[in-house]
Amino acid sequence: MKEIILCKYGEIVLKGLNRGTFEAMLVKELQKRLKGCGNFKVYHEQSTAYIEPLDDDADLDLAMERAGTVFGFVSLSRACVVEKNVEAIAAAAKEYLPQFLHGAKSFKAEAKRSDKRFPVKSPELQQLVGGAVLEVMPRLKVDVHNPQVVVRVEIREYGAYLHAGVVRGAGGIPTGSAGKALLLLSGGIDSPVAGYMMAKRGCVVESLHFESFPYTSEQAREKVMELAKEVTVYTGSMKVGVISLTKIQEELVKHCEEQYFTLLLRRFMMRLANRVAKRDGALALITGESLGQVASQTMQALHVTESVVDLPVFRPLIGMDKEEIISISRKIGTFDTSILPFEDCCTVFTPKHPKTRPDLEKVIEQEKKLDVQALEDEAFATLNYRWVSYYED
């Protein structure tokens, strides 16, 4: 019996004249993710993408797993496909559906007739499938209000599809549909979540990490690379830039008041990120900042650090509390890596009493003690890149 994966669209069904562009992106992303899973045909029709194995070596389980991380789908179903006639549908219901009903006490049959040319209407199809299941599993009860399992038959253009249970998709909109943005990626909990959330809104996410060797270790850098790799479960791949801030931090310690260290450092980070983003064609910056979470994330501090850039700054976590952020980090698989005890540059030379409500003019006065442009140029010259991907196909 032939099996296939049905991937149902999310909000792109509302995209009007641009819908075809979004559908093409979805199919392209699926094709990329399915490399290494075997030979599949991927196509779309009637608000659904189809993943069809072309030979017996195709790994449908792995394909299902990977399709579940592609942004743009709200649900996935593993289904069998048969000819559009009542005999074939009844036979498939008896043979294919029971495997999904073992251990269940109740079920419900649903039908959807997308191909209106099919002569049997949905209520009759529900009765046909439900009756066929009860023939082979007579102890089951029909519960139309609160069933343990819902079995479905869908009459579509290319055949009749039977499946049971729905796997939740990644949601969002297709990768690349909203342009490219640069994520300031630290080794903490927040920034990987911010990158994931903007990728879910269609951004191609590239990352920039700041290090301060020898004050930060090689293990700290590798921790960040692992975090980036874990985010690529959803983004597919990621370009990660690394810049050294060692000289900048040493100059801050020599010339500036301690209470301004973090703010001045963040301003350098934002300038450098703005510069990298423009060079690489990114249209926005992404940070993991949450309002009031730490001293550098008060409203006044955010104003001071953002004032040095001219690209939009996306802060998808800005209104979230820590528990909400941690919940997402656990869901996407980055939490355990984020809490590994390796320092990042923001923990080096941390002031005992940082400014929480800084005045921009006073911050600028502190910067006048430095050769800002020379320090920025020297740091920018240390920029190097790595590509990471969860999928090693």
Neighbours of 362 (CB within 10 A): 14
Domain ranges of the chain: 3-168, 180-388
Q: What is the pLDDT along the chain (393 residues), one digit of tens a residue?
A: 899 999 999 899 888 888 999 999 999 999 999 998 999 999 998 889 999 999 989 999 999 999 999 999 999 999 999 999 999 999 999 999 999 999 999 999 999 999 999 999 999 999 999 999 999 999 999 999 999 999 999 999 889 999 998 899 999 999 999 999 999 999 999 999 999 999 999 999 999 999 998 888 889 999 999 999 999 999 989 999 999 999 999 999 999 999 999 999 999 999 999 999 999 999 999 999 999 998 889 999 999 999 999 999 999 999 999 999 999 999 999 999 999 987 766 666 677 778 889 999 999 999 999 999 999 999 999 999 999 998 865
CA 259 remoteness from chain centre: 37
Separation in Å, CA 25 to CA 12, 89, 161, 175, 176:
11, 33, 25, 7, 8
Cα–Cα distance for residue pair 362/338, rounded to 1 Å: 34
Tokens of 221: 């850098």
Question: 180-388: which CATH topology?
Answer: Rossmann fold (3.40.50)
Q: What's the pLDDT at 347?
A: 64
Q: Does domain 3-168 have CATH number 3.30.2130.30?
A: yes
Tokens 């499938």 found at: 129
Q: Give me the DSSP letters along 23-58.
A: HHHHHHHHHHHTTTS--EEEEEETTEEEEEE-STT-
113 strand-pairing partners: 155
Neighbours of 284 (CB within 10 A): 18
CA 76 remoteness from chain centre: 16
The reply to whether 180-388 shares the fold of 3-168 is no
Q: What's the pLDDT at 345?
A: 61
- Please report which helix (H) or strand (E) contains residue 389, including its range: none
Query: Looking at the chain, which runs of residues are DSSP E strands?
Result: 3-9, 40-45, 48-53, 73-82, 106-113, 141-142, 149-156, 159-164, 167-168, 180-184, 204-211, 238-244, 285-286, 313-314, 384-388
Q: What's the pLDDT at 346?
A: 63
Q: What's the pLDDT at 351?
A: 75
272 strand-pairing partners: none
Neighbours of 350 (CB within 10 A): 12
Q: What's the pLDDT at 215?
A: 85
Q: What's the pLDDT at 36?
A: 87
Tokens of 148: 């343990």
Tokens of 173: 């909109």
